[in-house]
Structure 1
Amino acid sequence: MMKPFVEIAKKEIRDALHNKLFLFILLMLLVLTVVSIVLGAYQVRISLDTYNNSIDFLKSLGKTELPPMPNLNPLAASKGFVNYIGMVGALLAIVLGNTAIAKEQKSGTLRLILSRGVFRDMYLTGKLAGNLVILAGITLLTGLLTFVSLPIIGGITLTGDESLRLGLFFLMSFLYMTFFLILSMGIATISAKGSRALLLTVIVWLVFSFVFPQIGDTMDMDNQLPGGFFAQMGMTRAQEQQVLQKFKFYETLRNGIEELSPTKHYERISFALLNVKPGFENNTPWEVVKLKWVNLVGLVIPSGVLWLLAYIGFLRRENIYQAV
């Protein structure tokens, strides 16, 4: 019973390696990843060298009171990768998901496969498994590039805590791409034309990744002035909360729009893990995940719901897919 499942998964991997569009986007992602890591690690290296040169100069003057080592935050070298995954990584997953279903519809091989004793649930699950392996491989490769580049280029050895934070960040990247993979597969299963399904998926991606976050940022009261409205007004945290309470409905609506965006959830938990967003420096990696559990749920639950809907939709399309 498992043999058809494994063969379908293997076929997905082979097909992806022969998909020129997929390979082009993958190459683009890897290039952007290397550029982002190199630039980030190089900035860390420059900051470290500047500090060491300053220390040497002060010692040459006979100074004994030396400034402490600045917080270089080597994890911030992966900050640019968050944006690249949000755009290129999502697009890569969309192409994989659409091609997984559309190519069988276009070639007419789907009906033949299902008539050879392959159940539709096994067929769909095998395709998902194969593409998840591809996404996991991409995540692992980019993760290895990061772990190798930071000590070689940046000259900094990551601590165990920093390594775990970085590992969890790449796990979030995998979950984020998985959402768009399942979304693309789901839309392709209920559409008779692959090109139409791809266009619809890209539109949904644009709305989720750009429109909703932009609406949320534009409506954010604190973004109305450079440097933050509340900071420019000299307000304390307590005063800020008092103001927001008077606009509770407005803030609830604005935050609700942002909560619909998986991209926003991915950014929030990723920036917290990478220490880009202040306030999580003293928390352990697992504490950060616990504190940002809403964002983790915002990545996992929608993927599960979409997969269930795709599964049900695929099973009910008997007039098109011919039941076995």
Structure 2
Amino acid sequence: MKSQPLSSPFNVMVHKEMADHIRSWRFIVLMGLIILTFVASMYVSLGNIRSAMSNVNDPDHTFLYLKLLTATDNSMPPFHVFLSFLAPLLGISLGFDAINAEQNSGTLTRLIAQPVYRDNLLLAKFVSALILVSAPFLVLALLMIGGGLVLTGVRIEPQELLRILGFMMISMIYVGFWLSLSITLSVRFRQAATSALTAIGIWLFFTVFYQIIINLIIRSFLPDPTFLTQDQVLRYNELILDLLRIAPNQLYTDASTTLLMPSVRSLGPMTMEQMAGAIPAPLPFRESLMIVWPQVSGLIGATVACFALAYYLFMRREIRS
């Protein structure tokens, strides 16, 4: 009889990690929160979709399926704003105990004793969690498109489909950054509680306190903007935006807003001369993608840097029974 090919250790570890995540209560709770948020956002968007589509002053009023993700009556934020808060929690919860829980339970020593490379172990932890996050995002996008088609009967345009898929891809990258950061902290700290609190503290710092600190620092060093010329005000605003874009949540907000709102032409301040003669019309998907490419490449670079740091720390770590 012909022998069956053996699965690689990496594939076995990926399947094992995915099974562990699916059976865990924290994954079920987080998926429930994201699904409830999606359903609530779609309910509010569908209730205001007629007024949003009839607003001729809005250059994006013809994009029905994009309006499903952005239209709101101010009773609750749209889905992409909700996701900017939930995505870090999802990445942190799936990676804060990736390594230290294995070591505290004694399974890491037995696992490393097998013919398994350390980098494969870290990569399996990252890939398995990212696959589990990507699948629900793709399902939610398809449900949103299918629900909009059934309820409205309007055919989705190819540009809208590309923008929605691009938004989901950026959301996965954003989750991947926080996942790689939490895995790095799980390698650095032996206790899972310490790594979780550190990751949540970093998320709260960039979400709440970073913008406040930047504004205080800028105002203490620069003169009052009311006495500046137009060029100086532009440089003043560009400096603030450049500093704010160090935060990953600002990069994600800029990228998701530009893709879901085709009328956004620039992510920085513009002079009256640059705006003169500009027709308020939506941009093609390719030009919107070129605008947000620095933000996307920044998120990818930060994710790779965090994972490289986790690899460096894990390779130099001594594992004992």
Normalised TM-score (structure 2): 0.80
Show the counterpart of 2:312: 312
1:117-128 maps to which residues of 2 (within 5 A)?
117-128=115-126
Show the counterpart of 2:80: 82
1:73-222 maps to which residues of 2 (within 5 A)?
73-74=63-64, 75-79=66-70, 80-213=78-211
The alpha-carbon distance between structure 1 residues 30 and 246, as it changes in their structure 2 partners (threshold 3 A), is closer
Q: 1:30 aligns with which of 30, 35, 44?
A: 35
The alpha-carbon distance between structure 1 residues 76 and 261, as it changes in their structure 2 partners (threshold 3 A), is farther
1:262 aligns with 2:248: yes
> Displacement, 1:95?
0.4
1:291 aligns with 2:278: no
Q: Which runs of 5+ in 1 are unaligned?
A: 52-66, 222-229, 234-240
Q: Which amino acid aligns with 1:191?
A: F
The alpha-carbon distance between structure 1 residues 143 and 247, as it changes in their structure 2 partners (threshold 3 A), is closer
Could you tell me whether the CA contact under 8 Å between 2:262 and 2:288 is conserved in 1? no
> Displacement, 1:72?
4.4
User: Identity of aligned pairs, percent?
Assistant: 24
> Displacement, 1:131?
1.1
Could you tell me whether the CA contact under 8 Å between 1:220 and 1:254 is conserved in 2? yes
Q: Which amino acid aligns with 2:257?
A: F
The alpha-carbon distance between structure 1 residues 277 and 309, as it changes in their structure 2 partners (threshold 3 A), is farther
Kindly indicate which of the two structures has a greater share of residues assigned to helix: 1
The alpha-carbon distance between structure 1 residues 214 and 76, as it changes in their structure 2 partners (threshold 3 A), is farther
Show the counterpart of 2:48: 43
> Greater CA radius of gyration, 1 or 2?
1
Give the distance between the partners of 1:277 and 1:199, measured in 2 at CA: 39
Q: 2:21 aligns with which of 13, 16, 32?
A: 16
Could you tell me whether the CA contact under 8 Å between 1:43 and 1:154 is conserved in 2? no
Give the distance between the partners of 1:297 and 1:99, measured in 2 at CA: 27
Give the distance between the partners of 2:146 and 2:81, measured in 1 at CA: 21
Q: Which amino acid aligns with 1:100?
A: A
Could you tell me whether the CA contact under 8 Å between 2:187 and 2:313 is conserved in 1? yes
Q: Secondary structure at the match of 2:253?
A: helix
Show the counterpart of 1:237: none
> Displacement, 1:71?
2.3
Give the distance between the partners of 2:85 and 2:259, measured in 1 at CA: 20
| CA deviation string 1:37-75 (max 9, x = no partner) | 232133214555x79xxxxxxxxxxxxxxx9x9924321
| CA deviation string 1:120-173 (max 9, x = no partner) | 111111111111211211221221122122223344322111111111111111
Could you tell me whether the CA contact under 8 Å between 1:114 and 1:322 is conserved in 2? no
Could you tell me whether the CA contact under 8 Å between 2:134 and 2:172 is conserved in 1? yes
Give the distance between the partners of 2:7 and 2:145, measured in 1 at CA: 36
Q: Secondary structure at the match of 1:99?
A: coil
| CA deviation string 1:164-223 (max 9, x = no partner) | 1111111111111111010100111111111100000000111123322455688999xx
Give the distance between the partners of 1:13 and 1:135, measured in 2 at CA: 10
Q: Which amino acid aligns with 1:175?
A: I
> Displacement, 1:36?
0.8
Normalised TM-score (structure 1): 0.79
Q: Which runs of 5+ in 2 are unaligned?
A: 1-5, 71-77, 220-224, 267-280
Q: Secondary structure at the match of 2:96?
A: helix
| CA deviation string 1:78-134 (max 9, x = no partner) | 132212221112101110011322321231111111012222111111111111211
Higher mean C-alpha displacement, 117-126 vs 99-108:
99-108
CA RMSD of aligned residues (A): 3.1
Could you tell me whether the CA contact under 8 Å between 2:52 and 2:67 is conserved in 1? no
Higher mean C-alpha displacement, 204-213 vs 185-194:
204-213
